[in-house]
Structure 1
């Protein structure tokens, strides 16, 4: 049995997971990952925290047979990560990028090398789970919305500020609006807000849902009507709750799923060992 270590290096968080060769990339079991974790990406800038992370992973995990990763956080962060395991210097790190080939999938992106590696990995992850017309929504620092056809074609997508960025921009660029604090993980209220904090939270939620609704409308116009929506990232549960209450989206299968990027990395790595 082989063991594979995967790293998703995002702008805000670094996520990792280990999977065994006996596992299936289409498995939706919540306990899919034999070993996983997450830290703030900026932690890699500290030599002390890098040493702690290296020690923690190396002591918890047997030496993997391969390491796969994707990175959108910049070259310096990537170098810091790759320096973590000198004891595994003989292992080859395999990097998935936006133009990494994957059998059965293609993209309409004009310059595939400029497609975010995390978006491409999430699309591969979605493909591993189903073969229908799918909207892949990643709700991280930025929110990305991508259309994946049942034929394996990526028809493109959108990038917009994530919920936190939207809220922070209002505070930073206005004189009187506060940084709204969400009291729980619930979605926007089904009515107009009657206080400023809630008005900001509900407005930002509505903007995200509006983009998803428009994406579904456009997919239908392109004769690839969305049959499923996958949601990943820190705000997935918030948006899933809102989607299920939207009359135009309520009938669609909507599922928050953790680690869609890692799942895509895994599927890609298996074909590139």
Structure 2
């Protein structure tokens, strides 16, 4: 068994993988006492033989997770770093390590699942977009604030925009709360639609479009095209990596 770790900006997700199946799963927000909560939860789980992790957070949070893994299982995580090529996917970045490992592993999952050519959107703290062609080549992507972060940035930079209730997404808003929510969510939807339009011809004309991330379910209905919501793409990409690299963590 392999314990897979996805350390995202908002929360930590993890799963125990036996072959191709996830037998145990969980998640914690970073406001929790991660080291304590994880060690307590994992003490009741079967012991893995390896721990493989993908992280886009700081070293302090990686260390807290590693401490919990050591207490529960006596193992240290191996942290995946983004390579130039692995598991059938070729990184477009001239400096491969600068592409977020979460984005790379989502493409690994898409390639292994037969969804290429495709556009992959992830909607969380950031909105990321990537194009993956039929040969497993990453053609590049975009990065923008996620819709919730957009709203928070406006609230932090203005004195008068102070909604007194959560906003709803409307075609034409008649109050500040709805106007702020509508503008930010529709801006994110428009960005996804624009990226698909710009990359479609390079992807054969009719790429699959997938959404991941914690806010995928909210954004999907706002798009102008049919999309598939793909949860836990990073964990599934990690599982593909683990099967293809049975004795190694990082690939140079």
Decide: shared fold, TM above 0.5: yes
Kept in 2, the 8 Å contact 1:12–1:42? The answer is no
Aligned to 1:40: 29
**Other structure's SS at 1:84 match:** helix
* Structure 1 residue 261: Cα displacement: 0.8
- The answer on 1:56 being equivalent to 2:41 is yes
Q: In the alignment, which residue of structure 1 is the partner of 2:148?
A: 164
1:197-221 superposed Cα distances (whole Å, 9 cap, x missing partner): 1111111111111111111111134
The alignment status of 1:105 with 2:83, answered yes or no, reads no
Match of 2:249 in 1: none
Question: How does the TM-score come out when normalised to structure 1?
Answer: 0.83
Structure 1 match to 2:13: 15
Superposition pairs for residues 242-253 of structure 1, below 5 Å?
242-243=222-223, 246=224, 249=225, 252=226
Please name the residue that 1:206 is paired with: 186
Asked whether the equivalents of residues 105 and 153 of structure 1 are also in contact (C-alpha less than 8 Å), the reply is yes
Q: Residue in 2 aligned with 1:30?
A: none
Query: Which residue does 2:56 correspond to in 1?
Result: 72
> Among residues 218, 221, 230, which one is paired with 1:238 in the alignment?
218
Per the alignment, residue 132 of structure 2 pairs with: 148
Determine the structure 1 residue equivalent to 2:176. Answer: 196
Inter-partner Cα distance in structure 2 for 1:22 and 1:140: 26
Counterpart among 219, 237, 255 of residue 228 in structure 2: 255
Q: 1:269 aligns with which of 235, 239, 242?
A: 242
Query: Using a 3 Å threshold, how does the CA distance of structure 1 residues 104 and 233 change in structure 2: closer, same or farther?
Result: same
TM-fit CA distance, 1:62: 0.4
Cα deviation digits, residues 81-124 of structure 1 (max 9, x gap):
111133533x4533222226413210211110111111111111
| CA distance in 2: counterparts of 1:269 and 1:182, whole angstroms | 42
The answer on whether the counterparts of 2:84 and 2:90 sit within 8 Å (CA) in structure 1 is no
What do the CA deviations read for 1:13-49 (whole angstroms, capped 9, x no partner)?
01111121153xxxxxxxxx32111111243xx4xx5
Matches of 2:201 and 2:208 in 1, distance apart? 16
Look up the match of 1:83. 67
1:95 corresponds, among 79, 92, 110, to 79
Unaligned runs of 5+ in 1: 24-32
Q: CA deviation at 1:182?
A: 4.1
Is the CA contact 1:96–1:121 (under 8 Å) kept in the aligned structure 2? Answer: no
Query: For residues 127-159 of structure 1, what are the alpha-carbon distances to aligned partners after superposition, in whole Å with 9 as ceiling and x for unaligned?
Result: 222243111111111111111112101111111
Change (3 A) 1:66 1:182: farther
Contact 2:82 2:99 in 1 (8 A): yes
Q: Secondary structure of 1:198's partner?
A: helix
What TM-score results when the alignment is normalised by the length of structure 2?
A: 0.90
Aligned equivalents of 1:168, 1:41: Cα separation in 2: 18
Size of the aligned set, in residue pairs, is 244
